[in-house]
Chains A and B, each alone.
Chain A
Amino acid sequence: MAMDRQSLMIIIIMIIFFSFPSGYEQPHSDKDKEVILYFQHFMTYSRQVLANSSYISGYGNLTGFRLSYEDNLKGHNALEWPLHQYSEKHPWVEQEKYSLLPNSISDDLKSWWGKDPVDTSDPAAPAYLLNVTGSCYGDYSMLTKTRPKLYFFELEKPFVEYYERYSQSKYDEQRERYENDPENNPEPKKDDDKKKVGEEITQEGTILLSIRSLGYNFENQDLSKLIERPEDEVHDAVLVRVLLEIKDHPEIQQSEFETLGIYYQTTGSLITTTVSAKFLGIHGLPHMTFSEQNFNTAKLLVSQLLNSSATDSRNKLEKLNMYIARSQEQCELISFFQLDKTKFLKQEILDIDEELQNPIGRPIPGDFPKVVIKNALMYSPDCGFVLNSNKPAEGDLSIITNKERRSMFTKFLLIVLIQLYLYVAEIRLLRTPGQLSNVSSTTLLLLAYQDALMSLIVLLYANITEELYLILACITVNLVVGDLIMVRFLVKVMCTQANERGISWWELMRGGSRNTETTNTEEAQPQEDTLPAPVTANQEPAIPATGPGVSDDARFTNGIIATGLSASIVSMFLVAGATTWRKSYRKIFEYFAFLLINSYWFPQFIRNTIKNRRKAFLWRFILGTSLLRLMPLFYICLTPDNTLRHGYDPVLFGVVTLWVSLQLFLLYVQTQLGARFWINELWLPKAYDYHPHLSITDLENGFASDILAGIKSRAGDVTSEETQASGYMLCPVDCAICMTEVTIPVAASEQKKDKKVGNTHYMITPCHHIFHTECLEDWMKYKLQCPVCRTSLPPV
Chain B
Amino acid sequence: MAQITPIRGFSNTPVSRSVCVLTTVISIAVAVLQYKHYFILAIDPFIVEYGQYWRVATYQFSVINESDFLLTVLLWFQFKTLERFFGSRKYLSVISLFLLYNGVLCFVVMSLGQLLVNFMMYFVSKLNLPLISLALSAKYQVTFLNRAIPGPLGVISSLYICYGKYIPVSYYFKIQLSAENREVESENSDHQENGVTLLAAEAAAAAAASRHDNGASSALSNPSPVSSVSPEPTPSAPGLFSELNLTNHFQIHAIYTLLLINNGIHSIIPCVVGIIVGKLFISDLLVGSNRWSIPLPIYYLISSPSKAWSRYTGLLQLRLGGYHPVRTEEEPEEVNDDVRSTEGAGIRAETPVRPLGSQFLDTFRT
- The chain A residues found within 8 Å of chain B, CB to CB, are 359-363, 406, 410, 413, 470-471, 474, 484, 488, 491, 550-551, 553-555, 557-558, 561
Cα distance A743–B126 when bound, in Å? 114
Q: Judge if B349 is at the interface, Cβ distance under 8 Å.
A: no
One of B34, B52, B55, B365 near A359 (C-beta < 8 A): B34
In the bound complex, residues from chain A placing their C-beta under 8 Å from that of B50 are 361-363
One of A360, A362, A413, A557 near B364 (C-beta < 8 A): A557
Cα distance A23–B38 when bound, in Å? 44
One of B46, B363, B365 near A488 (C-beta < 8 A): B363
Would you give the shortest CB distance from A247 to chain B, in whole angstroms? 34
Contact, CB under 8 Å: B366 / A550: yes
In the bound complex, residues from chain A placing their C-beta under 8 Å from that of B365 are 554
Which residue of chain A is the closest to B45 with respect to CB atoms? A362
Size bracket, chain B contacts: 10 to 19
Contact, CB under 8 Å: A361 / B366: no
One of B34, B38, B45, B55 near A406 (C-beta < 8 A): B34
Which has the most chain A C-beta neighbours within 10 Å: B31, B33, B46, B52?
B33
Closest 9 CB pairs of A and B: A554-B366, A361-B37, A360-B37, A359-B37, A474-B32, A363-B50, A470-B32, A557-B363, A471-B32
Known: A360-B40, A554-B366, A557-B364. 7 other contacts (CB 8 A): A359-B34, A361-B38, A361-B40, A361-B46, A406-B33, A554-B363, A555-B366
A361-B50, A553-B363, A554-B365 given; A410·B37 CB < 8 A: no
Contact, CB under 8 Å: A470 / B360: no
Contact, CB under 8 Å: B32 / A361: no
- How many A-B pairs have beta carbons closer than 8 Å: the answer is 43
The SS class assigned to the A binding surface is helix
Which residue of chain A is the closest to B366 with respect to CB atoms? A554
- A sample of 25 cross-chain residue pairs with beta-carbon separation below 8 angstroms, ordered by A number, consists of A359-B37, A360-B37, A360-B40, A361-B38, A361-B50, A361-B52, A362-B45, A363-B50, A406-B34, A410-B33, A413-B32, A470-B31, A470-B34, A471-B34, A488-B360, A488-B363, A491-B363, A550-B366, A551-B366, A553-B363, A554-B363, A555-B366, A557-B363, A558-B366, A561-B364
Which residue of chain B is the closest to A491 with respect to CB atoms? B363
Cα distance A561–B363 when bound, in Å? 12
Residues facing A in B319-366 (CB within 8 A) are 360, 363-366
Residues facing A in B46-82 (CB within 8 A) are 46, 50, 52, 55
In the bound complex, residues from chain A placing their C-beta under 8 Å from that of B31 are 470
In the bound complex, residues from chain B placing their C-beta under 8 Å from that of A360 are 37, 40
In the bound complex, residues from chain A placing their C-beta under 8 Å from that of B34 are 359, 406, 470-471
In the bound complex, residues from chain A placing their C-beta under 8 Å from that of B45 are 362
Residues facing A in B170-208 (CB within 8 A) are none
A361-B38, A361-B40 given; A471·B360 CB < 8 A: no
Would you give the shortest CB distance from B366 to chain A, in whole angstroms? 4
Would you give the shortest CB distance from A559 to chain B, in whole angstroms? 12
Would you give the shortest CB distance from A519 to chain B, in whole angstroms? 43
- The chain B residues found within 8 Å of chain A, CB to CB, are 31-34, 37-38, 40, 45-46, 50, 52, 55, 360, 363-366
Would you give the shortest CB distance from A233 to chain B, in whole angstroms? 27
In the bound complex, residues from chain A placing their C-beta under 8 Å from that of B55 are 361
Cα distance A555–B34 when bound, in Å? 43
Cα distance A558–B364 when bound, in Å? 7
A361-B37, A474-B32 given; A554·B364 CB < 8 A: yes
Cα distance A359–B34 when bound, in Å? 9
Would you give the shortest CB distance from B305 to chain A, in whole angstroms? 13
A361-B46, A471-B33, A554-B365 given; A484·B360 CB < 8 A: yes
Which residue of chain A is the closest to B52 with respect to CB atoms? A361
Cα distance A471–B31 when bound, in Å? 9
Would you give the shortest CB distance from B362 to chain A, in whole angstroms? 9
Cα distance A488–B32 when bound, in Å? 28
Which residue of chain A is the closest to B359 with respect to CB atoms? A488
In the bound complex, residues from chain A placing their C-beta under 8 Å from that of B52 are 361, 363
Would you give the shortest CB distance from A371 to chain B, in whole angstroms? 23
Cα distance A550–B46 when bound, in Å? 65
Which residue of chain A is the closest to B38 with respect to CB atoms? A361
Would you give the shortest CB distance from A4 to chain B, in whole angstroms? 35
In the bound complex, residues from chain B placing their C-beta under 8 Å from that of A406 are 33-34
Would you give the shortest CB distance from A415 to chain B, in whole angstroms? 15
Which residue of chain A is the closest to B362 with respect to CB atoms? A553
Which residue of chain B is the closest to A551 with respect to CB atoms? B366
Would you give the shortest CB distance from B11 to chain A, in whole angstroms? 24
Cα distance A551–B363 when bound, in Å? 10
Would you give the shortest CB distance from B130 to chain A, in whole angstroms? 35
In the bound complex, residues from chain A placing their C-beta under 8 Å from that of B33 are 406, 410, 471
Cα distance A470–B37 when bound, in Å? 16
Cα distance A410–B55 when bound, in Å? 23
In the bound complex, residues from chain B placing their C-beta under 8 Å from that of A484 are 360
Which has the most chain A C-beta neighbours within 10 Å: B46, B55, B364?
B364
Would you give the shortest CB distance from A662 to chain B, in whole angstroms? 32
In the bound complex, residues from chain B placing their C-beta under 8 Å from that of A558 are 364, 366
Cα distance A406–B34 when bound, in Å? 9
In the bound complex, residues from chain A placing their C-beta under 8 Å from that of B364 are 554, 557-558, 561
Cα distance A413–B363 when bound, in Å? 27
Which residue of chain B is the closest to A554 with respect to CB atoms? B366
Which has the most chain B C-beta neighbours within 10 Å: A362, A551, A555?
A362
In the bound complex, residues from chain B placing their C-beta under 8 Å from that of A491 are 363
In the bound complex, residues from chain B placing their C-beta under 8 Å from that of A361 are 37-38, 40, 46, 50, 52, 55
In the bound complex, residues from chain B placing their C-beta under 8 Å from that of A557 are 363-364
In the bound complex, residues from chain B placing their C-beta under 8 Å from that of A410 are 33
Would you give the shortest CB distance from B25 to chain A, in whole angstroms? 11
Would you give the shortest CB distance from A199 to chain B, in whole angstroms? 46
Cα distance A550–B365 when bound, in Å? 10
Would you give the shortest CB distance from A353 to chain B, in whole angstroms? 16
Which residue of chain B is the closest to A359 with respect to CB atoms? B37
In the bound complex, residues from chain B placing their C-beta under 8 Å from that of A551 are 366
Would you give the shortest CB distance from B245 to chain A, in whole angstroms? 47
Which has the most chain B C-beta neighbours within 10 Å: A361, A484, A553?
A361
Cα distance A474–B34 when bound, in Å? 13
In the bound complex, residues from chain B placing their C-beta under 8 Å from that of A413 are 32
In the bound complex, residues from chain B placing their C-beta under 8 Å from that of A554 are 363-366
Cα distance A413–B366 when bound, in Å? 34
Would you give the shortest CB distance from A489 to chain B, in whole angstroms? 11
Which residue of chain B is the closest to A467 with respect to CB atoms? B34
Cα distance A471–B33 when bound, in Å? 7
Cα distance A558–B32 when bound, in Å? 33
Cα distance A471–B37 when bound, in Å? 17
Cα distance A553–B366 when bound, in Å? 8
Which residue of chain B is the closest to A471 with respect to CB atoms? B32
Cα distance A566–B156 when bound, in Å? 51
Which residue of chain A is the closest to B364 with respect to CB atoms? A557
Would you give the shortest CB distance from B57 to chain A, in whole angstroms? 14
Which residue of chain B is the closest to A363 with respect to CB atoms? B50
Cα distance A554–B37 when bound, in Å? 48
In the bound complex, residues from chain B placing their C-beta under 8 Å from that of A561 are 364
In the bound complex, residues from chain A placing their C-beta under 8 Å from that of B38 are 361
Cα distance A362–B32 when bound, in Å? 20
Cα distance A37–B237 when bound, in Å? 81
Cα distance A366–B57 when bound, in Å? 23
Would you give the shortest CB distance from A783 to chain B, in whole angstroms? 19
Which residue of chain B is the closest to A556 with respect to CB atoms? B363
Which residue of chain A is the closest to B35 with respect to CB atoms? A359
Which has the most chain A C-beta neighbours within 10 Å: B32, B40, B360?
B32
Which residue of chain A is the closest to B33 with respect to CB atoms? A410
In the bound complex, residues from chain A placing their C-beta under 8 Å from that of B360 are 484, 488
Which residue of chain A is the closest to B46 with respect to CB atoms? A361
Would you give the shortest CB distance from A334 to chain B, in whole angstroms? 40
Cα distance A561–B360 when bound, in Å? 13
Would you give the shortest CB distance from B290 to chain A, in whole angstroms? 38
In the bound complex, residues from chain B placing their C-beta under 8 Å from that of A359 are 34, 37
In the bound complex, residues from chain B placing their C-beta under 8 Å from that of A553 are 363
Would you give the shortest CB distance from B59 to chain A, in whole angstroms? 11
Would you give the shortest CB distance from B171 to chain A, in whole angstroms? 43
